[in-house]
Amino acid sequence: MDLRAWVLARGGIVARAAAREAGFDVRAVRAAAREGRIEIVRRRWVVAGEPDAARLAAARSGALLACVSAARARGWWIPATADDRLHLWLAPGSASDGLPRPFAGRVHWTKAIAPAPRHSLIESVEDTLAHVAGCLTPEEAVIVWESATRRERLDPAALRRVRWTSASARACADEIGGLSDSGLETIIVVRLRPHGLPVRQQVVIAGRPVDILIGRRLVIQTDGWEFHSSSAQRSADIAHDAELRLRGYTVLRFSYAQVVHGWPEVERTILRAVAAGLHL
């Protein structure tokens, strides 16, 4: 495989050091650049094709993707209301000459909590969590943190042992449970907490876990696109709902649009069910 094909197979942008370790020496890289098959960015990165725009911007800036930009790059669930600007990380005191002028995003000039992955354009998981906690609202931050625990297989107890440098990060670490299958679940749980309801997640009933169980008998299920997009999955959900009802449970199922855009009505429906004693 030639250098261009190797870079394209890895997303279109890789560290020159990684290319060297893979057997592409300095002469091979320079030759490919002269022929226009690859581009060398800031002497550190090898670019081919059309790589992810955020990663390329970080490379050109001499920075790392940070905060919500890093979370998106890792595939964490991000609330639609979250900041969609480009977030970058630079070490305190480092040069900022690579940043575009003007820069419409946000730069985090912070001391790293943990080293970034080797040959990566993304800051560490811990630093991403810390920046998210400081940039987003408390509710948005907890949603992202819950998604991170599932996506990265993080232990909430281990996260609570991290030496967080901000009160917002410590608050997120104290609040997460690592049980949400989707951001929709987290939204519902976070918004129901002020009501003091007995809420549990991922309780197995009739052979399958339910998203949320309030008290002993009120089941809340969510229809997020990622987990309920296929006809077979939808049929399985309907069959499970029916089995739950036959066993005496009340099942309330809400869609993404209802939870995200129509929360007052969702909240009112749940509280009406509680008022009727359907959770007992």
* 3-24: pLDDT as tens digits: 999 999 999 999 999 999 999 9
The whole-number pLDDT of residue 224 equals 67
What confidence tens digit (pLDDT) does each residue in 130-178 have?
Answer: 999 999 999 999 999 999 999 999 999 999 999 999 999 999 999 998 9
The whole-number pLDDT of residue 225 equals 53
CA dist 230 to 97, 187, 223, 237, Å?
A: 48, 23, 11, 11
Does residue 218 have a pLDDT over 90?
Answer: yes
Mean pLDDT on 62-83: 94
Mean pLDDT on 68-74: 97
| Kind plus residue range of the DSSP H or E element containing 128 | helix 125-135
The whole-number pLDDT of residue 7 equals 96
CA dist 112 to 12, 156, 177, 197, 213, Å?
A: 26, 20, 25, 38, 39
Distance CA 162, CA 167 (A): 12
Q: Is 186 helix (H, G, I), strand (E, B) or coil?
A: helix
Q: What is the DSSP string of 223-268?
A: E-TTTS-SHHHHHHHHHHHHHHHHTT-EEEEEEHHHHHH-HHHHHH
Half-sphere exposure (CA, 13 Å, Cβ side) for 222?
26
Percentage of the chain beyond pLDDT 90 is 84
Does residue 1 have a pLDDT over 80?
Answer: no
- The domains located in the chain, with CATH, are 3-51 (no CATH), 56-175 (no CATH), 183-275 (3.40.960.10)
Contacts for 118 with CB less than 8 Å, ≥ 6 apart: none
The whole-number pLDDT of residue 228 equals 47
pLDDT band at 223 (very low <50, low <70, confident <90, very high): confident
Distance CA 112, CA 119 (A): 16
Distance CA 253, CA 245 (A): 12
Task: For the chain, give the mean pLDDT.
Answer: 93
CA dist 40 to 46, 73, 123, 173, 259, Å?
A: 5, 22, 21, 40, 46
The whole-number pLDDT of residue 148 equals 96
pLDDT band at 99 (very low <50, low <70, confident <90, very high): confident
The whole-number pLDDT of residue 230 equals 66
